Amino acid sequence: MNSDIKRIGVLTGGGDCPGINAVIRAVTKTAMNDYGWECYGIRDGFLGLIENRIEPLAWDQCSNILTRGGTILGTSNKANPSRFAVGKDKNGEPIWKDVRDKAMTHYRAHDLDAVVVIGGDGTMSCAATMIEMGGRFVGVPKTIDNDIMSSDLTFGFQTAVEIATDALDRVHTTAASHHRIILVELMGRNAGWLTLNAGIASGSDVILIPEIPYSVDKICEKCYDRKLHGKHFTIIAISEGAKPVGGVQTIKRRIADSPDAIRLGGVAHVLRDELEELTHIESRAVVLGHVQRGGSPCADDRVLATRFGHAAIELLANKQYNELVVMQNAQLGHVPIDSVANQQRLVNPEDELVAVARSVGTCMGD
C-alpha cells in the first residue's frame, strides 16, 4: 500500500455522459477495497472545490450506480478555477478571477492526498492549472465527442453512437415514405467522430463533419444522383460543428460567464433551407441534442468506465500522479495531464473510417 495516500477526492466536470457513475463506482470501491483509502465526493466539478462542497463517500453510496446515467456528484462546465466568473461589471460583462488558491485551501482543509478528475479536455485543462498549484490529480477521459488527445476511446462515446445510430435508423423510414431529405444534427463540437461513426453505422447517404468543409453543390449532386437511381430520399448525418467551404460554423448562442462561451448548433436547419431551395425536394432537420448524452450506458461503456476507474487508482497506488488514463491501440496506458490540456483530437480527413465511408458510396460533402 502507498503510505502517501490515505484520502482521495473524486469530481466530475464538463457535460454529463453515460458511464460517469460507473467510473465513480470503480474508483471508490477499488480505493476502499484494495487500499483502505477514504473517499470524498466533490460536488459539481471544480465548483465544489472552489465553494468547499466536499463530503465523504461511503461504499453504499457508490453501489447500484453502475447502470445509472448522469453523475451522482453533479457537474459544471463553467467552473474553471483559473478563470472563474465572480460577478458582473457595470456593463453586464463577467468579472473573471483566478481562484485556484481558494480551491487549494479547500483541497488541503479536507486532507486530500489526490483527486480523481473525470472529464473531457476542458476539465483536464482545469486540472493542469491546479497541478501548477501543487495539487495531485489523476484523470479519466470522459466525453461523447471522443476528442481527448492521446486516447483512441473515451467512455460515453459508444453509448452516444448507439443513440445517434438509432435516431438515424428511425428517420430512414419516414424519409423514404415521404421522399424527403432529412438531416440529423449530432453533437461533437469541433470533432466529427460521433457523426462519422453513427453515419457509417446507419448507412447515411451523406456524412458532414467539421474536419471536411462541405460544398452544398456536392450534396445536391448526391441527392440528384440518388433520385436518378430510384432513391427518392436522402439521409444526412451532420455534425453541429460542420461548416461550408470558405464559411464558418453555425453558432447557436454564447454563454457570457462560461470560459468556453460558444455553443454550436443550428447548422442542420441552415443547410436544410439551402437544399430545399436548390433541389426542390422537401427537407426536414432533426437536432438530436442532449438525448445523445442521457440514459444508461451501453455494456461496452460500462466495462470501459470500470477499467478506467480501476486504472486511475492503480496510478495513484504506484505514485504516478498527474497522469491521464488513456486507451491506445486497445491497451490501457497513461500520459501526463498537461500534455492533453487545451487540445482536441480531431478526425484526420485521411482516416481509415473516412476512406471506408467513401468506398461504400457515402458523400462526405467535398
Are 168 and 42 in contact, with CB atoms under 8 Å apart? no
Furthest C-alpha separation in the chain = 72
d(CA 127, CA 103): 11
What is the DSSP annotation of 72-127?
A: TT---SS--TTSEEEEE-TTSPEEEE--HHHHHHHHHHTT-SEEEEEE-HHHHHHH
Strand, helix or coil for residue 132: coil
> One-letter amino acid identity for 6?
K
d(CA 244, CA 205): 18
d(CA 52, CA 50): 6
Backbone angles phi, psi at 238, to 5 degrees: -125, 130
**Which residue in 16, 44, 121, 145 is the catalytic one?**
145
Active site includes 145?
Answer: yes
Cell numbers at 218, concatenated: 456536392
* Grid cell 473531457 in the structure block, residue: 120
Strand, helix or coil for residue 82: coil
In this structure, what DSSP letter does residue 179 have?
T
Cell numbers at 114, concatenated: 489526490
d(CA 130, CA 327): 24
Please report the beta strands in 168-280, taking only residues with DSSP state E, as ranges in sequence order. Answer: 181-186, 206-208, 234-239, 251-254, 262-264
Would you please indicate which residues are annotated as catalytic (active-site) residues?
145
